[in-house]
Structure 1
Amino acid sequence: MLFIKRRTNPAAKLAKRQYARVYNINLPGLKLALMMFALFFLCLIIYCCVVEYSETTLAQGVVINAKGDVQVRAKASGTIMNIPIKEGQYVKANQILFSLSRDYGGKEGSVIEYEAAHYLSEIKRNNDRMRNMTSSVDNLKRNLTRQLAIIDDQISASSIKINKAKELVANTQETLGSYALIEKKGYVSKNDLNIRRNDVLNAQLNLKLEESNLLQLQSNKSSIRDNTQYQIDDLKTQSLYLDNRNSEIERTLATQGSKSLTMLAPTDGYVVAINFPPGKAVTQDTEVVVVIRHDTSSPLEGYIYIPSDGAGRINAGDKVKIRFDAWPVDKYGTVTTTLEDFVPITIDTRSLLVPLPQGKTYYLARVQLPPFFTDSGKRKRMLLGGMTLNADIVLDKRPLVVLLLAPLERARQRFLSF
């Protein structure tokens, strides 16, 4: 027989790591924490659906004066004798920029005589072209008068035809009415009545055709007049250009008596380039000095260069945020403007005004800038020509949730779309 002995001795003490600890859970506090956590995520989702982010394209550029630069060119061939200015120097209008000495040749005679003969031959060619243009204008006017007279005769004949067609329509309608009355009495057959109806329809159709012909003649008359006037205006513009060129040549010939020329600054500004040193021989119309106009009241422009990988959706009128390197954005803020012009043609990297990474193609765009802007501290900050800038061109605005879901959308289009 098996007896179970009741143990009265207390159990042996266990070590701390040999049993599980029991924690007291504050259920109301846990519910409150979970509710706050859920509200946080709900607010985050609402924020992502309501708040928009701007999709932008980054571009770089430079600030220039809206009036541009002035290129001072040599008025005649010769040798540069003296350049009393330096690059970066501020010059005033009519200040001496450089002196030019006219060279004399050997067996062929002087440069002045050669240029005079060249100018005289150009004047002769221009006069011949102007006479031909005047003759062409007279011929165009005579042809226009003759063509308008022919069209007017055709319009008159068409008007007579329209009147006759209207009379024919009235007569056929009257005949149809008479046939309809006597057809009821049995004097004519329905076949005769249908023939009269066809006569009315044919008369109305002829009337519509004549009216359409009249409208076409009037349209041709306006078109011929406009085209001829355009050709006449174009010939007159070319003739005016040649006349101005002859006047310029005559002024040049009148001032060719001296052996030296002094070129003056056409406006106030800064000398930014001297292309030739003293003693260098140059030909006529060679660019020697470049002066940037200095006008603090003039509006500024920004030339920005957009890389090809970000120029697909650029349009004039897009919003642009400008950040100037001279005024850090974290302290002075940005300037918001609009894209005034976008040139959809790639530009030569050698003509860039700012250094940009090589190996890419760029497009040129232009924005209008104020002479100064107000920073976050309500202070005016002056903008100067030559300042480099970074531009964020706003392409589109979308909810923030679209940005968060963009990786999933790209994965779907890449792996799940067939």
Structure 2
Amino acid sequence: MKISVIGCGYLGAVHAAAMAQLGHQVVGFDIDSYRISELAAGRAPFYEPQLPEILASAGAKGGLAFSTDPAVVAGAKVHFVAVGTPQRAGGYAADLSAVDAAIDALIPHLAPGDLVVGKSTVPVGTAAALAARVAAGCPGAMLAWNPEFLREGFAVADTITPDRIVYGLPADPAQAASAKALLDEVYATALAAGTPLVVTDYQTAELVKVAANAFLATKISFINAMAEISESVGADVTQLADAIGHDARIGRRFLNAGVGFGGGCLPKDIRAFTARAEELGRGESIAFLKEIDAINLRRRQRVVDLVTELLDGQVFHKKVAVLGLSFKPESDDIRDSPALDVAVQLKGLGADVVAVDPKAIPNSMRTHPQLAYTEEVETALSGAHAVVLVTEWKVFRDLDPAWVAGLVERQLIVDGRNCLDPDAWRAAGWTYRGMGRG
């Protein structure tokens, strides 16, 4: 099948390459000329494990092409819209301007029977409005909604072997059957492998993604709220999470207390969900998400406070080694990154911050040139008065506390991800502070 992907950022580039890897003929369109030139050359414009390999493989087979000309999508049977929906400037609602622009660019090149498939995360009600625009612009063309559930660092595997697939189909039975048949062909490999399929309406499909992210954010902020209580009474939140995680109704995943969540999805999605609920007159239904957001942001401040406490309130001109900049390991994404936020706050207090990250330094330098950066962990640690770990890259988790002790000025460490062994670090002479660990 010939497929087009409109929007070749993180979601679109991965989707295009993965679909080509599965054997489809794929064309990708984006207005960003740099992004397109990199992808056309087989290079990933951002860091994502396995993406360079499948770009090269699909390119070698001749099944993948990229262009800044929207006419390239003509002739494709299925058109995936995978543009960003960031938080609107000056408010919490989602900015849908890129979605609107994508539909406007796509409509002149549609043919009757074509299927437009939304993958972007949008407020509930968006799909119905877009379906009407598609039908008016090209009678006979259809729209479906197919939310994505990618995890940065695992996006290729999540696309090729997803844990579930959701179709939001038109209300008209004939259109729904046609749209489903086309999507079944797109996802034939995953469906043949037994991947669970949920077939539903537009509204439910739109809600699936934001509800999933809201639940994950709630679970993370819940354990961080327990970390706040644990700190007050001298309990260990990690052992608390282990204990309640054995309950099958709760589970252990996403119960890791720390500096909180970030990235391009969870923060802006829960805010947009809150804004949409208020537009619908149901703001009270998910009002708790505002407190979830507040808890999350408090944890960043708590890391800064812990560093300040360890330095006896004297942060000015003290060298602080910040380990990590990306919002999570195996990514160079710094959008709403707690790690970068901590580094910037410490710099604002007068600390001599030196930050190190395996992949996120170029992106960080563009947004925060005031920070000092290094690609060498040893350079960041050398002469440091305090160390703060805020992104749990393996290279940081595996540090030998005795080796680090020989580099720093003072053996003070804040483990913002609770990923180090407190006993091992304390045995090596360190003053160790975790998040909610007593």
TM-score normalised by the chain length of structure 2: 0.19
The structure whose residues are more often strand, as a share, is 1
TM-score normalised by the chain length of structure 1: 0.20
Asked which structure has the greater RCO (Cα within 8 Å, sep 6+), the reply is 1
Largest Rg, 1 or 2: 1
